[in-house]
Chains A and B, each alone.
Chain A
Amino acid sequence: MTEDQKAILAHVLIDPEAWFENVKEVFAEGADSVLANKIAKYEPAYREALAGGNYKTRAEREALSPA
């Protein structure tokens, strides 16, 4: 994964690297297609949130919210 891909996934996932490790184990040679599918789905929302300023990843957002 590129740093940009990790950043996009961090918009929706707590741990992008753990997610992709499981994808690689389960999907083997199809892992890149699964990654491309996830990136394509969430990149617009990530770019929009980033452009809005004061951006926070999902993990950062959840750390701020009350349990």
Chain B
Amino acid sequence: MPVPARIYDLSSTANSNSPAGSDSIGTSLDDYLRSMGAIVRGDLATKGADIASATTTDLGAVQGLFHDITGTTTITGFGTVAAGVWKVLKFEGAILLTYNATSLILLGGANRLVGNGDIGVYVSEGSGNWREESFQYAAKPGFLAFKSSNTANVVGAGADYTVICDTEVYDRGGDYANGTGIFTAPRTGLYQFNCMVGVSDLSAAMTEYSVALVTSNRTYSSFFPRAVTTSVTFRQPASFLVDMDAGDTATLHINVVNGAGNTADVQGDGTTVYTSFSGALLP
């Protein structure tokens, strides 16, 4: 007739719980009542102790409904606990959750790289199997930056120029480096990039150009003939929907060809946006 200590010690069948009608209570009734209070509060309405990430991160061993998960060790399982137990986890660093169709069923059916502040809800299915019921990233990556001044004599005869938009309008998560023009994806997913490149001081010989998004996994290149070569300026928009893995980079490039020299300028201005680069992770 043990006094239950954790919610897992209780049964959803009333007759299976202690004390039984035939048990001699003696002076133990208060122990049962107080333990029940502690179980309800401790397992259903308490932020439990932090749990260090481990290959098998044993969620059931620590009392509480909500836990911070520390460290960066790859997790392949959450340990064995009774089916129906819920845990709300807030991750405090980059941790790889390894998908398994039986033991760690994650939304999306693939590995998940979590980051600081991300929150997931997990329910035990018993026998060491867990299912992710919901997941929320802490921040949705997105940025918009523009070029604040002209850069002279950089394109025209085939030189590839990496466009650096040095002025950020916004940068949720700080994923765009305005000193280098490099966006680093904090999450794996589909990203929508929108670009505008302005070029001036063009010669009539500079008849073609391309705007490219160079990502770690592949290069997306658009190509344009200049319809009116008497104009000395163009502003070309481009957009790309691309897949990126966490850690992958994306940079914006412009290349103008057939000129006698790289004598054309990439436009920038402090107030009017001629050249810009923006991107966001799609839901």
Contacts and interface: CB of A to CB of B under 8 A. Distances in A.
Interface of A: 12-13, 19, 22-23, 26-27, 29-38, 40-41
| Chain A interface helix/strand/loop/mixed | helix
Contacts, number: 60
Given A13-B216, A36-B96, A19 B249 contact: yes
B245 interface: yes
B247 A29 contact: no
A29 B94 CA distance: 8
B38 interface: no
Contact of A33 (B96, B182, B184): B96
Interface in B226-280: 245-249
| Chain B interface helix/strand/loop/mixed | loop
A26 B184 contact: yes
22 contacts: A13-B217, A19-B247, A19-B249, A22-B182, A27-B247, A29-B72, A29-B93, A30-B72, A30-B93, A30-B95, A30-B115, A32-B72, A33-B74, A33-B93, A33-B95, A34-B113, A34-B246, A37-B111, A37-B188, A37-B245, A40-B98, A41-B188
Contacts of B184: 22-23, 26
